Each structure stands twice: as structure tokens, then as C-alpha cells.
């Protein structure tokens, strides 16, 4: 039986947070149990530059921060190929080829691109860069360079995967049946909200708990989390449906959340006690991850070895794809 391939990754613009953990990271760890699947995980440093082009050192520093997070949650380099995007020139070459197959208007209609441009208005103003507008083309190159068929993503990335499918179909219709159409694999959990109730969690918003946060940082963040604004006194009935502490209990307190919410609604549990229990449960969940992360922090040479070995394997796979692509495009001089 031929193995299927999965391709996913993250932009190294900061350390990974619990939104990543409950979403794509756990998905990737589970995928390692499938013996009929070859797994590739990319650290997308080139793509990170589309909106961090003026902060190259930040991107470079975070490459190893993301790698440590991967290893700490259980992504095993013996089972999953972890590689660096900038060291795969075939991705850039495919991006150029694919750019001829997609119109500017189609990119501007992509819902994911439209949303992210709106979020980056402070950076771009009214002048979006070619690189940022065209990042779905780059992502199509990421996926197809490795024959990716199963792509673990959040639902917000579905339009990008559909755009990749369109590119594959267009390419194959012109040059022959060379590329494989990918399929999105969605995380069980929806996108995790920030501590302030914002639908997006991130460093710039100051509403995220990171996998590497200390006990003190976790405590400070949870104590400042949004609760029911209508609950003034400890024994006032609360509404867990509008409380971010209750929302996070659903993630970290699976066996206790029903009782916690009932006590909240009856006014039998105060917000401070509720937050303290959540802090305890978050720390308990993250402790093994932080310990494993510390192991790798103390071994930078091992980190470099893992990344370079994975990248070397990825380079070989991308070269095979490029040979087929260039032959189909009559560029195999």
C-alpha cells in the first residue's frame, strides 16, 4: 500500500500557544499513530516574512522556539519530518510557476486573505504587498512540493486549501496528471478564543497563554481573564456562557466543568476560586510540556541536528517533485 502524505506547519512569528495546542498540534501527534501516513511539518520562515519583512531577526529567533514547542508536545522527529521552508528552493520555484495560473482578482476574493488583510491594515495601510496577497500560492507550493494529500488545518484555512486544489486542477489540465489534490483535515476543536473573549488569540493582543509560560505568567493572565460582567458579588448567580474562565474550564477541566458551571449559576462558587482552580489545571496540563521543552532548551546542538536532518530529507523529496514538474512543463533541459 502506498502511504499518503500530510503537510502542515506554522509561521515562526512567536512561541506557540494553547490555541495551537488544542488545535493543530494535538492533531499532528495523533497522526503519528497512522503507519500508512508520511508526515511533514514545516517551519514557514519565508511565509512569516510576508508580514514581518522588517523584522527578520524576530523570525530567525522564533524558528527554534517553534521547534522546541513541536518537540515538547510530542511531535517525534523519528516519525515526522520537521523542516525549514527557506532551505527548500523548490517551493519558491513552484510559487513562480503557480503564479501564472491564478488571477489577482481570485486572490482578492479568497475569504482567508481578505480577513487577514483587514487584520494587517496597520502594517499595510491601503497598499498590500504582492507577497502577502499571494501567500495562498506559496502555500500551494508548500503542499504540492511534498505530494501532500491530508492537510491538518483550522477551518479558517479551508479557502486556502481550496485555492490549492484549484491550482492543482489547472496545472494538471495544462501539463498532465502530475500533482495530487490535497484534502483539509480539520481539528476537532474550533479556534480557541483569547482570555479577553476575542475570537483571535495572539501575542499582539496580549490574550494568549503560551506553552512555555511560567506558573507566574499563567496565574497573572488567568486572574485577568474576562468573567460575567453582571456578577458583582461572590454569591450572585453567574452566567458561564459569557465567562472566559468557564470557557477555559471546558478545555482544561473536562471531568469537573459541569459541577463548576452549576455552582457558578447557583452563586455557590466565586470567580476567584474558579480562576484558582483553572490555574491549577492549566499548570498540571502544561507541566510535562514545559519540562520537555526545558530539556531541548539545554541542548541547542540537538535542536539543530533535528532540524537539519529533517530539512535534508525534505530537500530530497522536493527535488523529486520538481523533476516531474519540469518534465511536464518542458523545462527539463
How is 208-228 classified by DSSP, letter by letter? Answer: --BTT--HHHHHHHHHTS---
Residues 302, 78 contacting (CB under 8 angstroms): no
Residue 1 pLDDT more than 70? no
pLDDT of residue 191: 77
State the DSSP code for 182. Answer: P
Cα 11 from Cα 47, distance rounded (Å):
7
pLDDT, averaged across the chain: 90
Contacts of 236 (CB under 8 A, 6+ apart): 230, 267
Residue 120 pLDDT more than 90? no
Residue 2 pLDDT more than 80? no
187 versus 261: the higher-pLDDT residue is 261
Q: Write down the domain spans for the chain.
A: 4-193+300-328, 213-294
Cα 9 from Cα 314, distance rounded (Å):
13
Mean pLDDT of 153-179: 91
What is the pairing mode between strands 4-10 and 183-186? unpaired
Q: Which one, of 138, 136, 2, 146, lies nearest residue 83 by Cα? A: 146
**In whole angstroms, what separates CA 111 from the centre of its chain?**
18
Domains 4-193+300-328 and 213-294 share a fold: no
Q: What is the pLDDT of residues 225-246, one digit of tens each?
A: 888 888 888 788 888 889 999 9
pLDDT of residue 189: 63
- Per cent of the chain over pLDDT 90 is 59
Mean pLDDT of 25-53: 91
13 versus 235: the higher-pLDDT residue is 13
User: Which strand (E) or helix (H) includes residue 303?
Assistant: helix 300-328
Cα 317 from Cα 286, distance rounded (Å):
35
Its sign, for the CA torsion 73, 78, 80, 83, is positive
- CA-angle at 275, arms to 272 and 280, nearest 5°: 125
pLDDT of residue 128: 84
pLDDT of residue 51: 86
139 versus 156: the higher-pLDDT residue is 139
CATH H superfamily, domain 213-294: Tyrosyl-Transfer RNA Synthetase (1.10.240.10)
Q: What is the pLDDT of residues 181-226, one digit of tens each?
A: 999 887 666 678 899 888 888 777 788 999 999 999 999 999 998 8
Name the architecture of domain 4-193+300-328: 3-Layer(aba) Sandwich (3.40)
Task: Record the cell numbers describing residue 21, joined without a space.
Answer: 495546542
Q: What pTM was computed for the model? A: 0.90
Strands (E), the chain: 4-10, 37-43, 80-84, 150-153, 183-186
pLDDT of residue 175: 97
pLDDT of residue 178: 96
Amino acid at each position: 500500500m502506498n502511504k499518503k502524505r500530510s503537510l502542515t506547519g506554522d509561521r515562526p512569528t512567536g512561541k506557540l500557544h494553547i490555541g495551537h495546542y488544542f488545535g493543530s498540534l494535538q492533531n499532528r501527534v495523533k497522526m503519528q499513530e497512522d503507519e500508512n501516513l508520511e508526515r511533514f511539518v514545516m517551519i514557514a520562515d519565508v511565509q512569516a516574512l510576508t508580514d514581518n519583512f522588517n523584522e527578520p531577526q524576530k523570525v530567525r529567533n522564533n524558528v527554534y522556539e517553534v521547534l522546541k514547542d513541536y518537540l515538547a508536545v510530542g511531535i517525534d522527529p523519528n516519525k515526522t519530518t520537521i523542516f525549514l521552508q527557506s532551505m527548500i528552493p523548490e517551493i519558491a520555484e513552484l510559487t513562480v510557476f503557480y503564479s501564472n495560473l491564478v488571477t489577482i482578482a481570485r486572490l482578492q476574493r479568497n475569504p482567508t486573505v481578505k480577513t487577514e488583510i483587514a487584520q494587517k491594515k496597520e502594517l499595510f495601510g491601503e497598499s498590500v504587498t504582492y507577497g502577502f496577497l499571494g501567500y495562498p500560492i506559496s502555500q500551494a507550493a508548500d503542499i504540492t512540493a511534498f505530494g501532500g494529500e491530508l492537510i491538518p488545518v483550522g477551518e479558517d484555512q479551508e479557502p486556502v486549501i481550496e485555492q490549492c486544489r484549484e491550482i492543482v486542477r489547472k496545472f494538471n489540465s495544462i501539463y498532465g496528471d502530475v500533482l495530487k489534490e490535497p484534502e483539509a483535515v480539520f481539528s476537532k476543536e474550533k479556534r480557541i478564543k483569547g482570555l479577553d473573549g476575542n475570537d483571535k488569540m495572539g501575542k499582539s493582543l496580549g490574550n494568549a497563554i503560551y506553552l512555555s509560560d511560567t506558573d507566574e505568567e499563567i496565574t497573572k493572565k488567568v486572574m485577568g481573564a474576562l468573567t460575567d460582567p453582571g456578577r458583582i458579588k461572590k454569591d450572585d448567580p453567574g452566567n458561564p456562557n459569557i465567562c472566559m474562565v468557564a470557557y477555559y474550564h471546558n478545555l482544561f477541566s473536562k471531568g469537573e466543568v459541569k459541577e463548576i458551571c452549576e455552582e457558578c449559576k447557583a452563586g455557590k462558587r466565586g470567580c476567584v476560586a474558579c480562576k484558582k482552580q483553572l490555574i491549577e489545571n492549566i499548570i498540571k496540563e502544561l507541566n510535562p510540556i514545559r519540562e520537555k521543552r526545558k530539556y531541548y532548551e539545554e541542548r541547542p546542538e540537538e535542536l539543530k541536528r533535528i532540524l537539519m536532518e529533517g530539512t535534508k530529507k525534505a530537500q530530497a523529496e522536493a527535488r523529486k517533485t520538481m523533476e516531474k514538474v519540469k518534465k511536464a512543463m518542458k523545462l527539463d533541459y
